[in-house]
Structure 1
Amino acid sequence: MANDVLVSFRGVQKSYDGETLIVKDLNLDIRKGEFLTLLGPSGSGKTTSLMMLAGFETPTAGEILLDGRSLNKLPPHKRDIGMVFQNYALFPHMTVAENLAFPLSVRGMSRTDISERVKRALSMVQLDSFRNRYPGQLSGGQQQRVALARALVFEPQLVLMDEPLGALDKQLREHMQMEIKHLHQRLGVTVVYVTHDQGEALTMSDRVAVFHQGEIQQIAPPRELYEAPHNTFVAQFIGENNRLAGELVSHDGEQCVVRLARGEEVRATAVNVGAVGEAVSLSIRPERIRLNGHSEACPNRFSGRIAEFIYLGDHVRIRMEVCGKSDFYVKQPVAELDPALTVGDLVPLGWSVEHVRALDPLQVE
C-alpha cells in the first residue's frame, strides 16, 4: 500500500511560541487520488497543517513527505501543489485568461502550450466565454471557478483548498460542492480540503480527518464517521446527536449496560468505555429513535413528553423531555409523522442497541 501514498506527515508538530502546540503530533498518510477533508472547529490545527503542506508554514518538529521526498526545505513554488483560498487571490489587473496563464509562464512553458492549457482549464470550469473579462466583472461563484481552474491549470499532483466556498451563499455553495467533487472524480487529482462545515465535509470527501486541539480524533469515510464515531467529540461535532450521561454498570464483549442519572438502564454498543462504575456518555442519532408503536420491538424503551415541533420541510424535529433531558431530539420524515401527536403528549419511544454508542464522558472545556 505504501506506493499509493502521496503525502506523509510524520510526527509533525507546530508551535508559534515554543510552548503551546497548535499541531501536536500529526501522523497522516494521504493517498493518491483521494479527496481528504481536514475538518474541525477554529483553532483545531487543520489550517496550520494545510499551510505546512503548502510551504507557507514550517513544522517545529517532524517531517512532511510528498511522493517520498521531504518537503521541509522546499519553497512553496517548487512543490508542484495547486492552491485555492477563500478570497480567490486573483490578480485584479489581469483578465481571466491571463490569470490562468500566469502559473504556466512562471514555469517557463511555451506560448502554444500555455494557450492550449488555458483553453482546456476554462472549458473544464465552463467559463470559455469569460476569458477576456477581469475578476471585478465576475460574480463570486465565477471568481471561485477561475481560482479553481488556475490551481488545476499546471496539472499539479496535489491541490489544497482552504475554505474555498466560505464566502458563497448556501445555494451556490452547494452547487460548487458538487462541481468540485465531480471535477475531482474526472481528473483523479489528489485534493486536501479544509473546512469547519461538517455537511460540506460529508458531501464531498472520500475520507474526513476530524481535528480537535491539534490532534486527529478520527479519520474515516463520511458514513463511518457519522454512524460509528470513536469518541464523544466526533459524535457531537458531526451531525446531530443526543447525549445521555450515565455510569457503566456492566460490560460484556461488544455490549454494555449504562445507568442514567435517574436510574434508567440502557443497553448499548460499547465503543470507548472504562471500568464498571466509571462515567460514560451515550450517543444516539435523532433519526434512529422510534416513536409509539414503532418502538415496541426496541430493547431500550422509555416514555417522553413532546415539548416542541420544528418543521424543516421534508422532515420534522421533535424536541422531547426524555430521561430527565429537556432537549432530546427525534427526527422524522414528514410522511411518517403521526398527525395526531401534539405538544404535551406522553409517548413511548425506543432505540436499538446498535444505534446507541457508549463513549468517553464529555470533557468540560
Structure 2
Amino acid sequence: MAEIHDSAVLVSFRSVQKTYDGESLIVKDLNLDIRKGEFLTLLGPSGSGKTTSLMMLAGFETPTSGVIELGGRSLNNVPPHKRDIGMVFQNYALFPHMTVAENLAFPLSVRGINRTDSSERVKRALSMVQLDSFASRYPGQLSGGQQQRVALARALVFEPQLVLMDEPLGALDKQLREHMQMEIKHIHERLGVTVVYVTHDQGEALTMSDRVAVFHQGEIQQIASPRELYEFPSNTFVANFIGENNRLDGRLLSCDGDRCVVSLARGEKVEALAVRVGNPGDPVTLSVRPERIRLNGASESCGNRFSGRVEEFIYLGDHVRVRLEVCGAKDFFVKQPIAELDPSLAVGDVIPLGWHVEHVRALDPQPNSL
C-alpha cells in the first residue's frame, strides 16, 4: 500500500493489544492508520476483534498496551465524551422519555452550545436524514428504520470529526437495511466526515466502504478497497470470507515468477498465480470465483480445462448457480447469468469447463476448520 502523508491520517493505532484475562489476546498488535474523510469498515466474524478495536477508539474499552491517537494526540487518558466522536449503535440507544428533537439537542447541551445555535443544528440534522416533520415525536412512536435515522442524526449533530458505527443496521429487515446502506453512504459523501463502521456482513462492507479491514483472530488479515479484496485476496481466509469462492486443495509442483503449477489430489495440474505459496511439495489451496468459470465452448480459450458433472441448479432470479463435481470436489459452483445459461443443460451432464490462469490464486493451505 502507498505511504500515506501524515496530515491525511486522522486516527492511528500503534501496537495496540487487548486482553481480558491476561492470557488470550482479543486484539493482537494492531497497527492501523485511518485517513481523514474515508469510510473504513472493520469486517470479520464474531470474536475477531473488530468491535473491541472500535470500543477502544470510542473510549469504552482501554488498550492493554499500545497507543491510539486522534489528530496526532494520544487518546489513552481521554474520557469518551471528550473525544469529539459520534457513535451509532445497533440498538439505537435513544432516550425514550425525550422527543426526537430533545434526543438530538442532548449532545449539544452537554457541549455547552447555546439554544439558538442548537435548534438550528437539530433542524439541519433532521433534514439530513429526511425526518423534518418528526421533531416532536417520541422514539416509541417511530419504526426501527426511523429510530436508526434519529440515532444517525444524533451522532452527526455536533459535527464530530469522526463517527463510529457498530453494526448499526443489524436489526433492520433486508430491504430497509439496503436502503439505509445507501443513505449512510450518501450522507458520508456529502459531509466528508470520517466513518469507522463495524459489520460481519461482507455485502454491506463491499457496498459502503472506501477501504475494508478484514479481521480474524485479533489481527488484520488484509486491508484494501472492496474491489481489491474481492479480486485479489492475499490469503485463504480473506478469499473464503469475502464473496463466494471455489477451493481446490493440492500441492505446489513448481514456481516460475508469479506463476506456479499445482497438482491436485487426483493428479490434475492447474496453472495459477502464485500469491502465497511455500516450496515445491508444500500444500496450497487454489481459489477461483464462481463467476470466472467458463462452461462448454466458452472454456476453449482457458489455460486450465477440465470436465465437470452437473449435480444441481439453484435458481436466483437474475442468475443461476450450477453445482458441479470438478476434480473430485463435489461442491464446485459456477455462477451463470440467466441469458448465458444453456437451456439444454441437465443434471448428470458431463461438460467441459475452464478458467484463465489470472483468475485462479494459489494461497496458503486452508485449515480443516474452514
Measured against the shorter chain, the TM-score band is over 0.9
Tell me, in whole angstroms, the C-alpha distance in 1 between the residues paired with 2:156 and 2:115: 18
TM-score by length of 1: 1.00
User: Corresponding residue for 2:32?
Assistant: 28
User: Corresponding residue for 1:281?
Assistant: 285
Query: Does the residue aligned with 1:63 lie in a helix, a strand or coil?
Result: strand
> What does the per-residue CA deviation read over 1:309-348, in whole Å, with 9 as the maximum and x for residues that have no partner?
0000000000000000100000000011010100000000
Aligned-residue CA RMSD in angstroms?
A: 0.4
Write out aligned runs for 1:69-80 (5 A).
69-80=73-84
1:41 aligns with 2:56: no
Tell me, in whole angstroms, the C-alpha distance in 1 between the residues paired with 2:93 and 2:271: 53
User: Corresponding residue for 1:353?
Assistant: 357
Query: Does the residue aligned with 1:186 lie in a helix, a strand or coil?
Result: helix
1:242 aligns with 2:246: yes
Query: Does the residue aligned with 2:336 lie in a helix, a strand or coil?
Result: strand
Write out aligned runs for 1:200-211 (5 A).
200-211=204-215
Tell me, in whole angstroms, the C-alpha distance in 2 between the residues paired with 1:217 and 1:122: 38
1:364 deviation in Å? 2.8
1:9 deviation in Å? 0.1
Structure 2: gaps (5+ residues): none
Structure 1: gaps (5+ residues): none
User: Corresponding residue for 1:55?
Assistant: 59
Aligned residue type for 2:262: V
Of 344, 349, 364, the match for 2:348: 344
Query: Does the residue aligned with 1:22 lie in a helix, a strand or coil?
Result: strand
Aligned-residue sequence identity (percent) comes to 83
Of 225, 229, 247, the match for 2:229: 225
Of 105, 110, 114, the match for 1:101: 105
1:291 aligns with 2:291: no
> What does the per-residue CA deviation read over 1:48-103, in whole Å, with 9 as the maximum and x for residues that have no partner?
00000000000000000000000000000000000000000000000000000000
Tell me, in whole angstroms, the C-alpha distance in 2 between the residues paired with 1:262 and 1:2: 52
1:107 deviation in Å? 0.5
1:167 deviation in Å? 0.1
> What does the per-residue CA deviation read over 1:253-291, in whole Å, with 9 as the maximum and x for residues that have no partner?
010000000000000000000000000000000000000
Of 68, 84, 87, the match for 1:83: 87
Of 265, 269, 285, the match for 1:265: 269
1:7 aligns with 2:11: yes
Tell me, in whole angstroms, the C-alpha distance in 2 between the residues paired with 1:336 and 1:135: 49
1:191 aligns with 2:184: no
Tell me, in whole angstroms, the C-alpha distance in 1 between the residues paired with 2:252 and 2:350: 28
Query: Does the residue aligned with 2:276 lie in a helix, a strand or coil?
Result: coil
Aligned residue type for 1:39: L
Tell me, in whole angstroms, the C-alpha distance in 1 between the residues paired with 2:248 and 2:292: 15
Tell me, in whole angstroms, the C-alpha distance in 2 between the residues paired with 1:92 and 1:151: 17
1:363 deviation in Å? 1.8
1:174 deviation in Å? 0.1
Tell me, in whole angstroms, the C-alpha distance in 1 between the residues paired with 2:119 and 2:302: 65
Aligned residue type for 2:253: V
Give the number of equivalent residue pairs: 365
Tell me, in whole angstroms, the C-alpha distance in 1 between the residues paired with 2:80 and 2:336: 49
Query: Does the residue aligned with 1:177 lie in a helix, a strand or coil?
Result: helix
User: Corresponding residue for 1:117?
Assistant: 121
Query: Does the residue aligned with 1:263 lie in a helix, a strand or coil?
Result: coil
Aligned residue type for 1:223: R
User: Corresponding residue for 1:169?
Assistant: 173
User: Corresponding residue for 2:310?
Assistant: 306
TM-score by length of 2: 0.98
Query: Does the residue aligned with 2:312 lie in a helix, a strand or coil?
Result: strand
